[in-house]
A and B are shown apart, each in its own frame.
Chain A
Amino acid sequence: MSINISETLTFECETGNYHTFCPISCVAWLYQKIEDSFFLVVGTKTCGYFLQNALGVMIFAEPRYAMAELEEGDISAQLNDYQELKKLCLQIKKDRNPSVIIWIGTCTTEIIKMDLEGMAPKLETEIGIPIVVARANGLDYAFTQGEDTVLAAMAHRCPERSLLGDGRDKTIQDQAMRNIFTLLPLRKGGEVGTGGPMNNLKKHPPLVLFGSLPSTVASQLSLELRRQSIQVSGRLPAQRYTDLPSLGDGVYVCGVNPFLSRTATTLMRRRKCKLIGAPFPIGPDGTRAWIEKICSVFDIETQGLKEREQQMWETLKDYLDLVRGKSVFFMGDNLLEISLARFLIRCGMIVYEIGIPYLDKRYQAAELLLMKNTCKEMCVPMPRIVEKPDNYNQIQRMRELKPDLAITGMAHANPLEARGINTKWSVEFTFAQIHGFTNARDVLELVTRPLRRNNSLEDLGWTSLIKREKKEK
């Protein structure tokens, strides 16, 4: 398939001099997602400074994360790593009593080769709290890939699903069922009319979705699948560490985010799960394709999906009028770029360039195929996909292309705005609710915000607000 794609889509690779967040930023959303966790970032002041500034006010809410700040004695091994970490973890246990401590390895622990994976099991038995190690460092990963490393590490901790169905397995399944049912107001003995297809759930192998989502979005996606009589038996990560789904041979898994390739690999290779490779449920087109793919794997015929998608597009009409024919440039920093670009092309936009930190062509194969088909259907040229982009070169290209919108990091947003280019901060897409049918509007709300704001400023004659372009090249 990938050969097929490369014939039409162009892939490039630049220098990798681009701006993105450090992957340790994943603690910001994961600690909120996994309610009984504590994240300990083993790193230096640099990491701490990044976290405290990037997360702004969150730091004042007594978060369940902290830095284990390495000092000169730790670097030169005058202090014993194990004893130091034990001291800190005991303090965390005393103060917060979490169900799991997640150690985030950083660049520094990599360079000094601190054996976090080796120490964790020993310390775990000594203090009686599970310790999960994730190496989310800037040497290897970018921004959202941090979540990928954490979830991949956590996948090892999921209970084994026994085919005989022992007690533990069953309670977990039931728990998951109950959780889902409590979210549904319709549950009354299975005879409420509107629940139609929900009441005859088809028998299918267990399905576990991986990727952290805000809980409302998670239940929205479950509901969409239930409409097709598919039962989600668990999620990675679960709301609590103690509720991790059981995995094993015969469990089907499906990703909800494009940056989870390590997790997908771990689930397939180490936990013997079957991966459903689907486009990601971003935008109505993506959501439909995602559900269709899952249904096709389970041999279920979809019901009313096309209508549902159509209905969603209807509700987006006002925003679509705004974006149609406008051009976008993704500078690339969070790996959501391909899916977002595909959705925006379907909305009638023209995408010039998709910068992306890292592209796993196998994990994103279905998404890439969908994008290719979308381009054909919308009769727009295929965008160039630039892996490891070079921000300097991108800005030169942007000068020539003059896109209507640049989706970019915060380091470049204000300078680009001052040069008359509309920008949208890419980070917002990682924190906003963008998955499923229901949230398609939110994506467009974000994308159109600079366009709407600048519509009202247009007539004031202030588009370029720099004194003069320093050395025009």
Chain B
Amino acid sequence: MKLAYWMYAGPAHIGTLRVASSFKNVHAIMHAPLGDDYFNVMRSMLERERDFTPVTASIVDRHVLARGSQEKVVDNITRKDREERPDLIVLTPTCTSSILQEDLQNFVNRASVTSDSDVILADVNHYRVNELQAADRTLEQVVRYYLDKARRQETLDQSVTNKPSANIIGIFTLGFHNQHDCRELKRLLQDLDIEINQVIPEGGSVQDLRNLPKAWFNLVPYREVGLMTAIYLEKNFGMPYVSTTPMGVVDTAECIRQIQRHVNKLALLDRTFDYESYIDQQTKFVSQAAWFSRSIDCQNLTGKKAVVFGDATHAASMTKILAREMGIRVSCAGTYCKHDAEWFKEQVQGFCDEILITDDHTEVGDMIAHVEPSAIFGTQMERHIGKRLDIPCGVISSPVHIQNFPLGYRPFLGYEGTNQIADLVYNSFTLGMEDHLLEIFGGHDTKEVITKSLSTDTDLTWNYESQLELNKIPGFVRGKIKRNTEKFARKNGIADITVEVMYAAKEALNA
């Protein structure tokens, strides 16, 4: 048992549901007690989804506890099959069902006889994997299921497309800026004259999965989800994959170069692809980030301390961007993806002073308090830690709030992504600087207006000692004290404010 107030990655079934509900016409049925369908609320609220979330529960109640689910799960599957006519029904175990140890596979086998839909049992153990790992597995499981099926039915077409083409793997619901990233990646591949074969799971159809091998290569933008699928496809179909996240100027270029290598391997001899000039053009003129790194603005950020924390993909990329592309000193880089710690360490090695692998938010908070960085780049939790410590924070990774599902176009990947990140970094730091300067110069007066106009030349003068005294007062009450003192002075016809007047005002107020 452990005492926990907050967690970074959710339980396994959330990952399965995220993948299942991202596909078109796939329905997930959770074997769960009443109230565990909270996923529907999140999807409906955070993603502002217009359609009913294709997730229902086969309720585990007292009767199930006493007698087992019996016909209930099978009935619920066949009923859903009738009502929604989905292509696939994914039976999803939860923490409750994994300790009940019912033979869910048996239910699936029975149900698939009577229903037109395909039925599978998500192969995840609640106590061994978290949300992200479960999502990765489920995606691979679904892909494998449909490719095996196609092979059995001999509908598998292994010929590749004429033009270079790619699958984008790992875009899914409730992912951090995934929709925008997907659009940006499509644009990038289009620029490179590469066709999009399929995007999975978001918006994908399971019936089309058998055409996955037609692509020349797979692009896996996020480390957390899609890698298992890409590895499976490589092993079974010899499909190469690119798993360098195109985040930041340097890594985007690196990703494109890898794509170039894979594409040229399959291309006919008379036609090789060279993306170098594209990279050069984009880096210098489309992305403003390279220029931004040279500009005076960014010079002011040199050596400023930052702390980075998030999922492995975003935290590693962000660390590299800050250190390599902006000259910011990353005092500590960390991730909550403990299962991927080795990869993370290898990625950020040399780009930060310290590496933190933990899923305990208090440890992260203590570290931030200890380092006292000028800015934090983390999740919503770090944003709140920052608020408490008065350190600005840019949110770069899940877990997130509804604010991180912006309506406007905000990719983190590709060349437009570099612009967005530059803004994010710069805005976080300037806010920090501004705050700091305000502290040094005793704050500006906008909050402390006592007359209706913004003009600061009043008829009152504060002498040197009283100003000193005023500046000793903690920032958050200073305005109020100043206002009260001036009110008191005005009422009593005092023009020069001394320390004595301040105290008199205080006493008058207390009386």
- By a beta-carbon cutoff of 8 Å, the part of chain A in contact with chain B is 16-17, 19-23, 42, 44-46, 48-50, 52-54, 56, 59-60, 63, 66-72, 74-75, 79, 81, 84-85, 87-88, 91-92, 107-108, 110-112, 137-143, 392, 395, 409-415, 418, 465-466, 470-471
Contacts and interface: CB of A to CB of B under 8 A. Distances in A.
B61 A71 contact: no
Contacts of A48: 4, 6-7
B67 interface: no
B480 interface: no
B95 to A, nearest CB: 4
Given A110-B65, A111-B99, A17 B40 contact: no
B51 A88 contact: no
B51 A415 contact: yes
B48 A414 contact: yes
B441 interface: no
A54 B35 CA distance: 11
Give the 10 A-B residue pairs with the shortest CB-CB distance, closest first: A22-B35, A138-B33, A411-B40, A418-B50, A84-B1, A45-B11, A138-B35, A44-B95, A60-B384, A72-B127
Contacts of A49: 7, 10-11, 14, 38
Interface in B77-102: 83-85, 94-96, 99-100
A286 B64 CA distance: 38
Nearest to B76: A17
A412 B56 CA distance: 12
A66 B52 CA distance: 32
Contacts of A72: 127-128
Given A66-B4, A67-B3, A466-B50, A411 B35 contact: no
A45 B1 contact: no
A107 B41 contact: no
A415 B50 CA distance: 4
17 contacts: A16-B59, A45-B11, A49-B11, A53-B38, A54-B38, A67-B3, A69-B4, A87-B1, A88-B2, A110-B65, A138-B35, A143-B35, A410-B44, A415-B50, A415-B53, A466-B50, A466-B51
Nearest to A49: B10
Given A20-B34, A69-B1, A143-B35, A465 B127 contact: no
B300 to A, nearest CB: 31
A110 B65 CA distance: 9
A437 to B, nearest CB: 33
Contacts of A470: 51
B388 to A, nearest CB: 8
B38 A22 contact: yes
Interface in B1-58: 1-7, 10-11, 13-14, 32-38, 40-42, 44-45, 48-53, 56-57
Interface residues of B, number: 52
A67 B60 CA distance: 22
Contacts of A414: 44-45, 48-50
Interface string B136-167: 00000000000000000000000000000000
A458 B59 CA distance: 39
A415 B51 CA distance: 5
B452 interface: no
B56 A392 contact: yes
Given A50-B38, A107-B33, A139-B61, A71 B44 contact: no
Interface in B242-280: none
A449 to B, nearest CB: 17
B133 to A, nearest CB: 13
B1 A79 contact: yes
B443 to A, nearest CB: 26
Nearest to A24: B35
Given A45-B10, A92-B3, A108-B96, A411 B60 contact: no
Contact of B44 (A56, A92, A143, A411): A411
A139 B60 contact: yes
Contacts of A87: 1
A46 B130 CA distance: 11
A46 B1 contact: no
B40 A19 contact: yes
A59 B6 contact: yes
Contact of B34 (A16, A52, A59, A392): A16
Given A111-B99, A142-B34, A74 B44 contact: no
